[in-house]
Structure 1
């Protein structure tokens, strides 16, 4: 049964990947995912100022809209009945026959989404997450020790940014200690496209197989992690497929996003010594983290939504069946955020109004866990290596050109 589920889900993901391969799409479609350094391309500001809700030329005969303005994005994401996130509806718009959707909260609508989020929310409160803080501290310290033993240079992406969220997710889910090296390899392989998309899809299938086996084990002997807690609290009210999807959603939503924030945030601190000094001295850590989240907004677009009825957004009529894509990176550079939004400024007030975690009922449920990782890792990094610097000129760093999660795949640094 496990292999059948993995095969079906891999086929679905593979089919979608082939139909929506980013490398096959022209720049006139992909430009909202492009950046100049860390900034959205200038065209984003032009759209936001003149056409904050604009038609986008998508294939397969779809009517699609790009929303870039801060208030229009909040209007779309905050709607409770105007749009659907259901994967089947989106796949149906492009003629894909889906036997089983990818699962998780991101592609679910009420009442399924409401029920699953209600189940998960108590597990992601600050009080409940506080139990992870000692482990996060230990994980960060271990990675810093490993970097220090590496001879004065490191790849901050592979040596620091990726392992911290991967191992934190292990702790959260209740992955057995003996499985953690294997789990970390599964976690990172799904985002490694060096061997082609087929290898990444195979890694997704392997991860799903692992999670299904973990769910089976937790059913028999619930542990102290997220899966064991959900099983003890809800029993058969939540089935194995849903638990597997939720576990995979935690990995998908919490790994690459947090890793990209850790790497890119560290890059910003290396090029802003005054901010690094503040972080090192424990001054305004929360404010700096929030401004880094806004400034970088690594999740560039929210999950696509399909309008379920005719709606108006910023005076523009969107028809039922139209696909709506909200640019989070564009909205977080809107003047409504505050003066000079293209400049990083931790003293910006208010500071928590950014959309880096989304908005509305699909806002990232793991936002507080991500903040815990960043608030722990950044100060520890700049204290341990106060002279750390990029090992290559910033202009030579290779950023992902068209990725929903903005980032880079290597960040070589000198530590001394």
Structure 2
């Protein structure tokens, strides 16, 4: 199994993944437990796999490409509510209930809230300036406050949830700490569900208490949405800012034409692919790309390699805010495509625009090679991003 982690900043696919995509975009690989499965690095093949119901998202069926603890090559079935690791009809039931709650009205309300949160964070940065760690001061608080507001998490619990969510995806965190974070997060979410049933407020979790979902299912859904909507966007904001600051010509184009921000966000999603590895299992024999994938074989999906596929994106290793990056697979594809993708886009657009409008002279405070990276995780990013600016 090749190392699935993207290489050093700004996190492109490794040379081995790039070579495999060129020579054999669907290739057999041996997993850590000896299972022989497949690795997909081509864009069209990856989309074909994730759109095909003959490939399961149930990870209890899968052989794992990364061993997180000694002897732990499998994971148990998804608990109630954790629908991303389920297939139809269970996945369909949960997905249908949630899709109706991600309304245009709620997204518009959250966009206004993102603007206020971003302004508050920038005010605090300015008062403490002219230097800051952008991750701590800006990138982490914004999605934390937004997703907690979406779910109705009390303000006093925001920091705890944020810390626990980060621990779950970081391979460098000891297993006992990961389990403690998982249990703690689950307990806090269960208490929140009970509170929402007793006294609903204007939030997504309260809305769902009117459905036929059990407390256990609501806890799983809240756990999933909090983890998925917090760590990913925080790392995209931090790493996305790094990319813009190290591509001054692209940042200058964005400053000249703020209308490019929508395309710039899509290009950052494509270029960075921070949620880098997916996994499916064949439920039956499937012909794909001239090969026979046998029932029971695990298929690993490399989003960074697929998003840099020259057959889909010309000159794919170049970051270009004017590129039409539609069709990237950073939010997945098919029935499992990210439910919160529009919220993530809103957060990125609003936050990046506000950041560079407030600090037009923003720049790195250290050489790019000295930026501390988060490279041993399911979600990649920078651990800290020291920045500075000229005071007026």
Same fold (TM over 0.5): yes
Structure 1 residues 162-196: Cα deviation after superposition (integer angstroms, max 9, x where no partner):
11111111110011344444444444555567763
Q: Which of 138, 142, 164 is 1:164 aligned to?
A: 142
Deviation at 1:92, TM superposition (A): 11
Partner of 1:307: 282
- What RMSD, in angstroms, separates the aligned Cα atoms of the two structures? 2.3
List, as ranges, runs of 4+ consecutive aligned residues in structure 1 with deviation greater than 6 Å.
91-95, 192-195
In 2, distance between residues paired with 1:291 and 1:348?
7
Bigger mean CA deviation after superposition, 392-401 or 51-60: 392-401
Deviation at 1:66, TM superposition (A): 0.8
TM-score in terms of structure 2 length: 0.91
Q: How many residues align?
A: 382
Partner of 2:180: 202
Deviation at 1:214, TM superposition (A): 0.5
Matched, 1:338 2:317: no
Partner of 1:218: 196
In 2, distance between residues paired with 1:401 and 1:338?
25
Deviation at 1:269, TM superposition (A): 1.4
Alignment of 1:359-370 (within 5 A): 359-370=333-344
Are 1:193 and 1:200, in contact at CA under 8 Å, matched by a contact in 2? no
User: 1:297 and 1:225, CA in 2 relative to 1: closer, same or farther beyond 3 A?
Assistant: same
Unmatched tracts of structure 2, length 5 or more: 66-71
Alignment of 1:152-191 (within 5 A): 152-188=130-166, 190=168
Are 1:147 and 1:159, in contact at CA under 8 Å, matched by a contact in 2? yes
User: 1:239 and 1:91, CA in 2 relative to 1: closer, same or farther beyond 3 A?
Assistant: farther
User: 1:268 and 1:98, CA in 2 relative to 1: closer, same or farther beyond 3 A?
Assistant: closer
TM-score in terms of structure 1 length: 0.86
Deviation at 1:201, TM superposition (A): 2.6
In 2, distance between residues paired with 1:31 and 1:92?
13
Q: Which secondary structure state, in structure 1, belongs to the residue aligned with residue 48 of structure 2?
A: helix
In 2, distance between residues paired with 1:404 and 1:184?
16
Q: Which secondary structure state, in structure 1, belongs to the residue aligned with residue 206 of structure 2?
A: helix
Q: Which secondary structure state, in structure 1, belongs to the residue aligned with residue 49 of structure 2?
A: helix
Q: When you count helix as a share of all residues, which structure comes out higher?
A: 1
Are 1:34 and 1:402, in contact at CA under 8 Å, matched by a contact in 2? no
Q: Which of 249, 264, 270 is 1:294 aligned to?
A: 270
Are 2:81 and 2:218, in contact at CA under 8 Å, matched by a contact in 1? no
Partner of 1:83: 55
Are 1:310 and 1:319, in contact at CA under 8 Å, matched by a contact in 2? yes
User: 1:126 and 1:63, CA in 2 relative to 1: closer, same or farther beyond 3 A?
Assistant: farther
Structure 1 residues 249-279: Cα deviation after superposition (integer angstroms, max 9, x where no partner):
1112111111111011101111223332343
Q: Which secondary structure state, in structure 2, belongs to the residue aligned with residue 56 of structure 1?
A: strand
Are 1:52 and 1:68, in contact at CA under 8 Å, matched by a contact in 2? yes
Q: Which secondary structure state, in structure 2, belongs to the residue aligned with residue 306 of structure 1?
A: strand
User: 1:338 and 1:216, CA in 2 relative to 1: closer, same or farther beyond 3 A?
Assistant: same
Partner of 1:258: 233
Are 1:122 and 1:128, in contact at CA under 8 Å, matched by a contact in 2? no
